Amino acid sequence: MNSDKTFHILNGDALLDNFPAELLTGEIIVARECLVDGPVAGENFQEFAETRANFIHQEYGEDKQAYFEEIMPEFNKIQAIPVDSEVNFWFEDDLFCQVNLWFCVSLLMQVAHTLKVYIIKPIISDNQPDWRGFGLMDNHMLADAYLHKHLLNMDDLKLLSNLWTAFKNNDSEALENLGKINSDNFPFLNLVIQAQLDRSNNRPEKVLDDIIKEKETTDFNTIFREFSKREGIYGFGDWQVEKMLEKIKSDNN
């Protein structure tokens, strides 16, 4: 199959800032979401967008209209990818990135059988994850990672799409069962899914509480660095950690 067009789907603007556009050809699409955080309900795409726009406005004070002007158009571009294209997903292994990946793959499933779909991930050593991901890589290292991209077959794509469905429906049993499926392209999937399931037992909040007590500090930067070191598997940014700290403070008052 000869690809008529090449697309690079990036997880966030941080990667866009360092993307080796001068070395690689193709249209760039940026997934500007944090679907691991907050509700993802909706009977259709428009209802889903309303749910997300309302949540981000209420939780983070972002303008609702900005969601429909800056975030949704990128997802619309994914849905409009033509048949016989090459699609390159630039997503890391942590939960934050994986949930966004699951959603983006679900948008492609109607034409997935006509596409060549690849995953580009940070190069790992000793088969161990480094949750810091692309943040450690300059544009030449990113270009090298592209040369080591992995083709996703239909079993991989169905797995990712099914993971999105299970996540969206908050179906813990389905997530656990899907986490038992072996995929060479996603060797840490079972660990990531377990991290998601552990959220129901407040694992991230308990780790933050431990850090505050052990370090005897309320300094956000110190807490955030230590949390990222211990629980990098979540891939949480400062917004997510700040919100959890607010919850801990509220619970302790």
Domain boundaries, the chain: 6-187, 202-252
Residue 108 pLDDT > 50: yes
The encoded tokens of residue 246 equal 């607010």
Share of the chain above pLDDT 70, in %: 97
pLDDT of residue 15: 93
Residue 123 pLDDT > 80: no
Please write down the HEC assignment for all residues of the chain: CCCCCEEEEECCHHHHHHCCCCCCCCEEEECCCCCCCCCCCCCCHHHHHHHHHHHHHHHHCCCHHHHHHHHHHHHHHHHCCCCCCEEEEECCCCHHHHHHHHHHHHCCCCCHHHCEEEEECCCCCCCCCCCCHHHHCCHHHHHHHHHCCEEECHHHHHHHHHHHHHHHCCCHHHHHHHCCCCCCCCCCHHHHHHHHHHHHHCHHHHHHHHHHHHHCCCCHHHHHHHHHHHCHHHCCCHHHHHHHHHHHHHHHC
Residue 242 pLDDT > 50: yes
The encoded tokens of residue 226 equal 């230590």
pLDDT of residue 187: 92
Residue 213 CA: distances (Å) to CA of 31, 206, 210 = 36, 11, 5
pLDDT of residue 253: 72
**Residues 74-102, mean pLDDT to the nearest whole number:** 97
d(C-alpha 67, C-alpha 70), whole Å: 6
Residue 81 pLDDT > 50: yes
Identify residue 174 by its one-letter amino acid code.
A
Contact 240, 37 (CB under 8 A): yes
pLDDT of residue 88: 98
For the segment 49-64, what is each residue's pLDDT rounded down to a tens digit? Answer: 999 999 999 998 999 9
Residue 17 pLDDT > 70: yes
pLDDT of residue 58: 94
Residue 1 pLDDT > 50: no
Residue 18 pLDDT > 80: yes
Contact 60, 239 (CB under 8 A): yes
Share of the chain above pLDDT 90, in %: 87
pTM of the model: 0.95
pLDDT of residue 4: 65
Contact 71, 33 (CB under 8 A): yes
Rounded to the nearest 5 degrees, what angle is found at the Cα of 84, between the Cα atoms of 118 and 14?
40
Mean pLDDT over all residues of the chain?
94
**Residues 174-195, mean pLDDT to the nearest whole number:** 95
86-90 and 6-10 beta bridge pairing: parallel
- Number of Cβ within a 10 Å radius of residue 153: 12
Give the CA count within 13 Å in the CB-facing half-sphere of 186: 31
Q: Which residues contact 133 (CB under 8 A, 6 or more apart)?
A: 92, 93, 94, 97, 121, 122, 235
